[in-house]
Amino acid sequence: MPLLWVSIAFLAGLCLPMWFSVHWAVWAGLAGIFLAGSFLEKRLQKPTWLPAFRRFSRVTISLLLAALFAGAARYQLQQPVFNETDLAYYNDTEMELVGQVSDYPDVRDNAVQLTLEVNEIQLEGSPVSIPVSGSVLARLPFSTEWEYGDVVRLEGKLTTPSEDEEFSYRDYLETRGIYSTMYYPYASLVEHQTGKPVLRAIYRLRENANQTIQQILPQPEAGLLSGILLGLEHDIPADLDGAFQKTGTTHIIAISGFNIAILSGLFFSGASRLLPRFWAPLVSILAIALYAVMVGAQASVVRAAIMGGMALIGRQLGRQGAGVNSLSFTGAVMCLFNPFLIRDVGFQLSFMATLGLVLYAEPIHDKLQAWLENHFPQQTAHKIADLGSDYLLFTMVAQLTTLPLIVYHFGRLSFSSILANLLILPVQPLVMELGGVALIAGMIWLPLGKALGWLIWPLPAYTNRMVSWLAALPGGSIELGSTSQWLLVIFYLLLFGLTLGTGLRKYYPGLPDLIKKIKPSVVLVILILLCAALWRSVASLPDGKLHIHVLNVPDGPAVLMQSPGGQTALINGGSSASRLSSELGQRLSLFNRQLDAVLVTDRKSKPLAGLPVSIERFPARMVLWNTDAAALRNGKLLAETLVQQNVEPVWLETGQILDMGDDASLRVLQHDASGTALMVEWNHFLILIPGGVSPKILGTSGEANLSAVAVILLTEEDLEETGAAEWENFQPVLVIWCGAKNPQVPANDPRWIHLDEHSYIEVISDGAMMWANSGD
């Protein structure tokens, strides 16, 4: 038990520097002080609850605080400081570098990503080679020629990984020890087949296995089996991959901690029936290790395999307690060597999925078996309980502990995932077991593998068809947008607090009375959270006012209009689907996730990139767009989404009016080669969105009384084409402008608000008056 609490304190301490920026020496000093204090704690006067806690945890509070601050010091100490011998020191510089491919090439649809260990560089214009150390992630045009161990020369610009509000690619790569990227450099092969012979053999075996699967099964079933058995997802069609994401079943095709956790339970359950109790976990660990090697032995898979193995050892040594101890200690040791793992989503899911199995798999199995014994003969009850655990319960308990993380990181709650897992998970062990047999047979003798492949084909085919059907169901998932970290903490505190309650009673006789007192508080907290969720939905319902949300999204802005009667219209969307979906998820009511209209006035491909996925999540009843957008790549993707939703887009034309109810309207003032100007009207309140059309043309259009405009939304192009003074002629109450700093914009005029300094600006009007607020 001391190991558990010290490990948890250390892991919690790794998070402290994310909130409090303090030098590592300060954290280390605090750790030392409390470590010394732990020896004095016995002599100090203690509150009544402290002895009970010490009897339960067998560790002093001071030691826990020492571990907490030690974790913070370790995290802060890992922050990189680069010098002339580090590759990242030369980021954002043109250069030529030489490095060795150190990982399995990541082949995508239109590109391949190589991780290189770099040993020397040559800066542009310099004849001198500089010895360095460090890794770079290079993206090259699609090719299957690159292999692990190749020595490659790249010529291009070394860049710092990107970082923005919604996702930090820099933080993600930091967990892998990569601090530099290079996009589409000129690449040439220097030497072939170097590197470690063992890894070369593993990767070659993996590639041969993938080729065998492609020959024994047709697509897309071959792509699914490659994802399940080998962790290679690039052969899965994009629409099927999207269906797996939408139904929350990507854990089936992604080799992760979730996947390994389920496998460890299956291996142990099967081995326990065939082998003595001592040998069952050892054979299961060996099977997990072989599987990790087969899928390429990437760092994330190895970490997940170690966690699964340690959980099995703990289960063998002492059931739940030892399992939790070994798992927490393993996680703490991993983070001791790489503190940035605490931020890695894969590590978090691996840890929580394995913890779910350790805590709940056996108790739920025992309760199910006891219930079945009351209704069936004992032997039959045992068989049903074992099958139910193998094929369903193990996955469901892993989902219980990972669902909050999925909601927090991805902002989506999938109701169809519950039905999907119930329908497709029972066949997945058979897919893995029989698919593995067919693969091994095919690698030995291809005709035998093909024969077995056709026999097992119905299983992956059923999986694909069922996922595609469930993904097409309306209302299968809800976009929740960004979720507070505190909701995540509260959920896990409640879950694990209730789980640990039975253990605490042994050491704290007064706990039953305390639990009785706490229960109303727990119910109250749950009610508060439910009320908060309901309030969020009610807050998005119509309130009789016009709401205009100007969203600061990448390559935006996007504008969401909510009429007094509750009708919604989205104008453009920016390039980030996740950011746009998050913003819409926060502003649309949970009771109505559809958009009444979408207007596409952008005429470049990148600003359209966020719309196809967002409209898939928030369907549109009507879409108006321009011919330029329709011809672009992202425009074509949008058109495919609209075909799936049976929506026929309408061409934008001057003079079109969208009736938004309650006398509110959205009017196309001007649509020509220069751009598309829109006007939002409600009673005496007007908002102008010029969209590239000059004020002179708008002033002569005669479509509306522009002298009464209250708000103008200007893009960077609007200000480049026309000076700020000409827009002042309309005498607006408020001007929202976007883009780089512009010297023409009045510096001290409070009416001019720069959107780039805010995450959003909301304008509200009752038809006569207006209010504005913003988010930073």
Mean pLDDT in residue range 419-433: 76
**Residue 125 structure tokens:** 């214009």
How confident is the model at residue 419, as a pLDDT? 75
CA distance 323 to 329: 10
Query: Residue 454: which residues within 8 A CB-CB, separation 6 or more?
Result: none
**Residue 619 structure tokens:** 């369907």
| 477-528 pLDDT tens trace | 666 666 667 777 778 877 777 776 655 455 445 445 545 544 555 555 555 5
Are the C-beta atoms of 93 and 182 separated by less than 8 Å? no
| 291-316 pLDDT tens trace | 777 666 666 677 667 766 766 665 56
* Other residues' Cβ atoms within 10 Å of the Cβ of residue 462: 15
Closest to 565 (Cα-Cα) out of 580, 584, 547:
547
CA distance 205 to 194: 17
The dihedral of CA 451, 455, 460, 465: what is its sign? positive
Mean pLDDT in residue range 630-653: 84
| 525-538 pLDDT tens trace | 555 555 555 444 44
Closest to 312 (Cα-Cα) out of 275, 255, 268:
268
CA distance 622 to 191: 56
Mean pLDDT in residue range 429-447: 87
DSSP 365-429: HHHHHHHHHTTS-HHHHHHHHHHHIIIIIHHHHHHHHHHHHHHHHH-EEESHHHHHHHHHGGGHH
Please count the residues of the chain.
776
pLDDT for residue 244 is more than 50: yes
458 three-state secondary structure? helix
How confident is the model at residue 537, as a pLDDT? 47
Long-range contact pairs involving 214-217 (C-beta distance under 8 Å, separation at least 24) = 215/442, 215/446, 215/449, 215/450, 216/438, 216/439, 216/442, 216/446, 216/449, 216/450, 216/452, 216/453, 217/453, 217/457, 217/460
CA distance 203 to 290: 13
CA distance 577 to 553: 9
Tokens 């024994």 sit at which residue? 216
Mean pLDDT in residue range 723-740: 81
Which carries the bigger pLDDT value, residue 735 or residue 425?
Answer: 735
Which carries the bigger pLDDT value, residue 108 or residue 576?
Answer: 576
How confident is the model at residue 1, as a pLDDT? 57
Closest to 664 (Cα-Cα) out of 755, 596, 748, 744:
596
Q: Which of 63-77, 106-120, 529-543 is the least confident region? A: 529-543
**Mean pLDDT, rounded, of the chain:** 78
Mean pLDDT in residue range 760-767: 88
The dihedral of CA 755, 592, 486, 351: what is its sign? negative
**Residue 563 structure tokens:** 């009429």
Mean pLDDT in residue range 405-429: 73
Mean pLDDT in residue range 419-429: 75
How confident is the model at residue 138, as a pLDDT? 93
How confident is the model at residue 605, as a pLDDT? 77
Which carries the bigger pLDDT value, residue 418 or residue 213?
Answer: 213
CA distance 615 to 91: 37
The share of the chain scoring above pLDDT 70, in percent, equals 80
Which carries the bigger pLDDT value, residue 320 or residue 138?
Answer: 138
Q: Which pLDDT band holds residue 367 (cuts at 50, 70, 90)?
A: confident
| 218-232 pLDDT tens trace | 888 888 888 888 877
Instruction: Using only the alpha carbons of the chain, give its radius of gyration.
Output: 30
Neighbour-count burial for 713-734, b at 16+ CB within 10 Å, e otherwise = bbbeebbebbebeebbebebeb
Are the C-beta atoms of 738 and 716 separated by less than 8 Å? yes
Mean pLDDT in residue range 89-115: 87
CA distance 87 to 80: 12
Which carries the bigger pLDDT value, residue 99 or residue 241?
Answer: 99
pLDDT for residue 9 is more than 70: yes
pLDDT for residue 113 is more than 70: yes
CA distance 473 to 644: 12
The H or E element that residue 764 is part of is: strand 760-765
pLDDT for residue 50 is more than 80: no
pLDDT for residue 700 is more than 70: no
pLDDT for residue 98 is more than 90: yes
Helices (H) and strands (E) in the chain, counts: 29, 24
Beta strand 597-600 with 623-625 is: parallel
Are the C-beta atoms of 729 and 747 separated by less than 8 Å? no
**Residue 350 structure tokens:** 């691996």
| 393-411 pLDDT tens trace | 766 777 778 778 877 777 6
Q: Which pLDDT band holds residue 157 (cuts at 50, 70, 90)?
A: very high
pLDDT for residue 77 is more than 90: no
How confident is the model at residue 538, as a pLDDT? 47
Helices (H), 94-196: 169-174
Q: Which pLDDT band holds residue 588 (cuts at 50, 70, 90)?
A: confident
The dihedral of CA 439, 441, 443, 448: what is its sign? negative
